[in-house]
Amino acid sequence: MAGLYFEELTEGRVVDAEWTRTITEADNVLFTSMTMNVAKLHLDAEYMKGTEFGRPLVNSLLTLGLMIGMSVHNTTVGTTVANLGMNDVRFPAPVFAGDTIHVKTTVLSARPSKSRPDAGIVTFRHEAFNQRQQLVATCERAALMLRREPAA
């Protein structure tokens, strides 16, 4: 599905990503290594056996990236000019290798750009849930979105 234009992103609209992603141990190790995060809580299974979690946690930035990335194909692909920022990023429950996440996106607000007649600013709330329907990540993201028809 192509991305939605500013005019289609009305306040309150909810878009389901329509697909899921199982996070693997390899995903976590690769991402954690690529970002040079050497925290034992992501990489050391023996160390993590002695913690309250009992096993490595998936890197939260991988979870954040997947959450936003999974939403792109049916919300903003081809219609985003630029991301403007992310706020209120939270991880209310841990994610582990083997968890399968799905994503829901809600349009919180939309307003025409004051400086660009071809675009508007949309604030999204992304929410990721695991296979038990537990909220594992959420954030608000502002994006500069193309208008279908430039403002007069």
- Under the banding of pLDDT at 50, 70 and 90, the label for residue 115 is very high
Percent of the chain predicted with pLDDT > 70: 98
Find the mean pLDDT for residues 74-83. 93
Q: Which tokens sit at 61?
A: 């930035």
**Burial level of 85, CB count in 10 A (0-12/13-18/19+)?**
exposed
Which stretch of DSSP H or E encloses residue 51? none
pLDDT by residue (tens digit) across 92-106? 999 999 999 999 999
CA triple 46-52-56, angle to 5 deg: 45
What class, spelled out in words, does domain 6-146 have in CATH? alpha beta
**Does the structure show a pLDDT above 80 at 151?**
no
pTM: 0.93
CA 128 centroid distance within chain? 7
Q: What is the pLDDT of residue 149?
A: 80
Contact at 8 Å (CB) between 56 and 45?
Answer: yes
Single-letter code of the amino acid located at 92: P
Higher pLDDT, 151 or 137: 137
Q: Give domain limits for the chain.
A: 6-146
CA proximity to 57, closest of 77, 39, 74:
39
